């Protein structure tokens, strides 16, 4: 005698999940082809979302979408590796009613993303390859370090001005400003109290450390620019 199976099978059916991403949680809305399944909050994990879809919609064809933002593209990469069709979209491209603009919440955001995904109204943005993203990070790291160094230079100048210490005339020119000789002079500056000297030394040390880090990263960028991947095109920021 044949036994009847009560196992639900969603084979061939499309399941849509739109989610609003935050650092500590995701607000997720899941739709079937005709119905709304559920809106819920989950930990920020692609594995957890995938497991939920597989558990509740076995055999389904899964589609997910989320807005581009601080989290980057690792979520999409992870979901795609798990066999989920995933896209990243621009927030400005998501159809939004006037009511949704006024009454904006994480729950509403996930619902409208899921609905737009199901209706085919979402346009995926271009997601660079993992190599391109990491190469760009190297350049952006140099930009960040240069900005940090500028801040420390300003701090040193403010320190000297606050204590009435004048920079010698030979260092007025830009060619000699922040040179090795200038740093040697900075390190020779004396203050009336050890604590003042210690504070100045700490700022100088951090400034020199940043200079060295920038030199190292600059060298690495030059090496990267000479690789086959970038010899005939610019490395986009």
Angle at 162 between CA 159 and CA 167, to 5 degrees: 65
pLDDT in tens, 60-83: 999 999 999 988 899 999 999 999
Q: Which residues contact 31 (CB under 8 A, 6 or more apart)?
A: 15, 16, 17, 18, 37, 114, 115, 118
More confident residue, 112 or 231: 112
Please state, for a pLDDT cut of 70, what percent of the chain lies above it: 94
In which element (H, E) is residue 218 found? helix 194-225
> By the 8 A CB rule, do 112 and 95 touch?
yes
The burial of 16, by beta-carbon neighbours within 10 Å (0-12 exposed, 13-18 middle, 19 or more buried), is given as buried
Q: What's the DSSP call for residue 170?
A: G
* Prediction pTM value: 0.75
Rounded CA separation 112/117 (Å): 8
pLDDT in tens, 182-211: 999 999 999 999 999 999 999 999 999 999
């Amino acid at each position: 005698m044949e036994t009847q199976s009560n196992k639900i099978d969603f084979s061939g059916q499309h399941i849509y999940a739109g989610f609003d991403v935050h650092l500590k949680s995701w607000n997720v809305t899941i739709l079937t082809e005709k119905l709304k399944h559920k809106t819920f909050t989950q930990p920020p994990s692609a594995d957890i979302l995938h497991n939920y879809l597989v558990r509740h919609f076995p055999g389904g064809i899964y589609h997910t979408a989320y807005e581009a933002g601080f989290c980057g593209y690792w979520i999409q990469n992870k979901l795609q590796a798990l066999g989920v069709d995933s896209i990243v979209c621009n927030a400005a491209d998501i159809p939004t009613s006037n009511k949704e603009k006024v009454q904006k919440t994480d729950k509403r955001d996930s619902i409208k993303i899921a609905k737009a995904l199901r209706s085919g109204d979402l346009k995926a943005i271009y997601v660079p390859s993992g190599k391109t993203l990491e190469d760009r990070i190297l350049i952006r790291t140099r930009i960040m370090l240069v900005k940090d160094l500028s801040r420390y230079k300003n701090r040193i100048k403010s320190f000297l001005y606050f204590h009435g210490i004048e920079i010698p005339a030979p260092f007025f020119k830009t060619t000699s400003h922040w040179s090795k000789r200038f740093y040697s002079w900075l390190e020779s500056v004396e203050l009336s109290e050890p604590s003042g000297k210690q504070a100045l030394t700490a700022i100088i040390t951090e400034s020199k450390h940043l200079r060295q880090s920038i030199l190292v990263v600059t060298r690495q960028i030059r090496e990267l620019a000479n690789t086959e991947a970038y010899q005939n095109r610019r490395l986009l920021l």
